[in-house]
Amino acid sequence: MRPTITAFDWVPDFAKGQVRDLRVRWALEEVGQPYDVRYLPQGAQKAGDHRARQPFGQVPTYEEGDLTLFESGAIVLHIAETHDGLLPPDRAGRARATEWAFAALNTVEPPIMDLAFVTLFEADQPWSKPRKPAVEARIDERLKELSDRLGDRQWLDGDGFTAGDLLMAAVLRIVEGEGLIEKYGNLTAYVQRATARPAFRKALADQMAGFTGAPPPEFAAWQEKMKQSQGEMA
């Protein structure tokens, strides 16, 4: 059965290529599963019909027959478990791939998202600028630990790309170009290998092509506020 996912029809420029439906699109492309997209204008994710699918009013969601899922990590793991291509055939290998998926979302991503709050979403708050060095230090600690574990391997568990690599690379992309990952040559090469995969390129192109909607009226005021805050933090 052809699944349907949800995605936004508009986001600010800084979010393009980062909205979490990209992770689901990437997984579907890796396993060769066609899918449909239900596009939501900004604000519609908070409406009752979408909250029935996603109680926190976010994207993506995934619908396949009578199954409805939310949370990109859970959706990616479901895709990996029900299709060939993103999990090793052996039980131990599948467990390790799942372990890395959780590590990406629970250990590496939280400090990275803290940086997004400091530099974007709460940049106008008085505590943001003083917090930034500590946030960057926490990110660097995690990246060093990840770099040490990856070593000279191609992927996190050896030679095979898994759902764990997909989610880890998706998380690392959030701070790509910020001078954080770039301190670690093996992590830089790791992300480049992942994002050179045809499935990622197709997923990214499709996400970008879907941004055809108009910004909400309040966006201009928010954008100006963020510009002022970022100038103060520079």
Q: Are 75 and 35 in contact (CB under 8 A)?
A: no
Confidence of residue 220 (pLDDT cuts 50, 70, 90): low
User: For the residues 78-93, what does the mean pLDDT come to?
Assistant: 97
Q: Are 95 and 81 in contact (CB under 8 A)?
A: no
Q: What is the pTM of this model?
A: 0.92
Look over the chain and give the mean of its residue pLDDT values, rounded to a whole number: 92
* CA dist., res. 146 & res. 89, Å (int): 25
pLDDT digits (tens, 9 = 90+) for 43-52: 999 999 999 9
pLDDT digits (tens, 9 = 90+) for 117-139: 887 777 778 777 888 889 999 99
- Give burial (CB, 10 Å; 0-12/13-18/19+) of 140: middle
Domains of the chain: 4-85+200-206 (3.40.30.10), 91-198 (1.20.1050.10)
Of 32, 43, 33, 34, nearest to 9 (Cα)? 43
pLDDT digits (tens, 9 = 90+) for 160-213: 999 999 999 999 999 999 999 999 999 999 999 999 999 999 999 999 999 999
Segments of the chain assigned E as strands? 4-8, 36-40, 61-64, 67-70
**The pLDDT of residue 222:** 57
Q: What is the CA radius of gyration of the chain?
A: 18
Q: Are 103 and 156 in contact (CB under 8 A)?
A: no
* CA dist., res. 1 & res. 147, Å (int): 39
The DSSP code for 4 is E
User: For the residues 31-59, what does the mean pLDDT come to?
Assistant: 96
